[in-house]
Structure 1
Amino acid sequence: MQKRDREATRARLLTAARQRFAREGYDATSVRDIARDSGVDAALIFRYFGSKKQLFDQATAATLPPDLLEGPREELVARMVRTVVDYDWTEYGGEHPLVAMLRSSAHEDARQRIRKEVCRTYVDALRDLAEGEDAELRAELLSAWMVGIGVLRSVVATPALSDAGAADLAPHIATVATALLGRPMSGTVDQSPMSGTVDQKGEPG
C-alpha cells in the first residue's frame, strides 16, 4: 500500500509539473507551485526527484505517439504534423511537448533538451528521407516549418492556423514536404486518429 501511495504521489507531481512547465516555463515555475497543485508537501519533490531540474527533466521527457516513426515513408511528414494538430497532449497543457518546452528556452538545459528532441524526433528521420544534396539543411527547414505550426497554433494563436485541422493542411503538407525532401510525399495518413501518449523510439519504416 505504501509503495502504491508513493507511486501515485510521484505520478501526481509529474502531471502537475508538466502542466506548470508547459504554461509558465521553467524559471516562472516554483517547487511550491507544483507541490500545491499536487496537494502535497514541497519536501516530497526533493525526496522523489532530488531537485527542480531533475523533476523538469523527467516531466518534459518527450513522449512520442507509438506509430509516429512507423508506417509508409511517404506519410511521415503528415504523421508528424498530426502530432501537432490532432494529437491529445492533455498531459502537457494541450500543447506538443516541444512547443511547451519553448517557454523554458531561456534556460540552457531546456535549450539543449529542445535541440536534442527536435533532432531525434524530426531532423534525423527527415534527413534519411531526403533525396539529393543538402539533406541536413532541408530536413532542418522542414522541421522548423512543423515546429512553427505548433508555435502559431498554441502560442500566437493565429486564427486560420488555429482553426485548421489535418485535412485542411493536407495539400500544403504534401507540397512543402515533396519540395524539400525531393521525393513524393503524402499530406494524409491512412490510419485511425492518434490518441494517448507513450514513450517510443524508432526509425522510419
Structure 2
Amino acid sequence: MARIRFIRDGYAATTVRDIADDAGVNVALINRYFTSKEGLFEACLGMAVSDISRDTENVSLEQITVRMANKITAGTDEARLQDSLMMLLRTSGEERVNGMRREILLAVSQKLAAAGGRPVDDQALLRAQIMLGTALGITLLRSSLHLTPIDSADEQDLIGPLTDVINALLPRG
C-alpha cells in the first residue's frame, strides 16, 4: 500500500495517515514498525533495491538485453519491478530521501558497468548510467505516458534496439 501511494502521489504528498487508511490500520502501528514516514519509505526503497538487484546480479552483456526487454514488457508478474523503477524516478523534495535514491541508482550503474568486463572507471560508469537512463525512460514512457508504439512493443520488438544501444554504450572489455 505504501509503495503504491509513494509512486502515485510522491513522497512529499503522501502522509502516514493516507497509508494507514489504505492499509486499514492505525497510524501508531506503522510508526511502531517503521518509526516515521522516512523509515517506511526507506523500507519501500529496500524492496525496490531487492527487485532491481535480482535482475542485475552476475549479469553478462548478452543477458542484459534479454532481461531488460523482458522486464520492460512483462505483464502483471513484473509490475512490482516496474513500480520499483517508478519509485526511483519520483522526486521526494527531501534531500535525505533523494540521497537514498541516488545511492541505489549508483549501485545499479556500477553493476551494469562491470558487466562489460572493463574496469569501472568514470567513462564506464557514465555509459552505464546512460544505459540505466534508457531503461528508466522506456519504463516511464510505457507505464506512465503509454506512448505508442513503445507502449505496445513486445519483448522481441525491443531486443534489437536495446542490443544496439547496449553494444554502443557498454563495449566488451
- The two structures have a TM-score, normalised by structure 2, of 0.82
* C-alpha contact 1:69 1:76 (8 A) present in aligned 2: no
Pick from 36, 47, 54: which aligns with 1:51? Answer: 36
Partner-residue secondary structure (3-state), 1:147: helix
Distance 2:106 2:72 in 1: 16
Structure 1 residues 39 and 109 mapped into 2: Cα distance closer, same or farther (>3 Å)? same
Runs of 5+ in structure 2 lacking a partner? none
Matches within 5 A, 1:79-158: 79-86=67-74, 88-91=77-80, 95-121=82-108, 123-128=109-114, 129=116, 134-158=123-147
Tell me which moved more, 98-107 or 52-61: 98-107
Structure 1 residues 71 and 46 mapped into 2: Cα distance closer, same or farther (>3 Å)? closer
Shift of 1:81: 4.1
* C-alpha contact 1:25 1:101 (8 A) present in aligned 2: no
* C-alpha contact 1:31 1:45 (8 A) present in aligned 2: yes
* C-alpha contact 2:112 2:128 (8 A) present in aligned 1: yes
Please identify which structure carries the higher helix content: 2
Equivalent in the alignment of 1:172: 161
Distance 1:115 1:85 in 2: 25
Equivalent in the alignment of 1:75: 63
* C-alpha contact 1:18 1:91 (8 A) present in aligned 2: no
Tell me which moved more, 174-183 or 68-77: 68-77
Partner-residue secondary structure (3-state), 2:19: helix
Distance 1:35 1:139 in 2: 38
2:153 alignment partner AA: A
Number of residue equivalences: 166
Distance 1:77 1:105 in 2: 30
Q: How large is the RMSD of aligned CA atoms in angstroms?
A: 2.5
Runs of 5+ in structure 1 lacking a partner? 1-15, 185-205
- The two structures have a TM-score, normalised by structure 1, of 0.70
Distance 1:178 1:91 in 2: 28
Q: Structure 1: which 4+ aligned runs deviate by more than 6 Å?
A: none
* C-alpha contact 1:21 1:101 (8 A) present in aligned 2: no
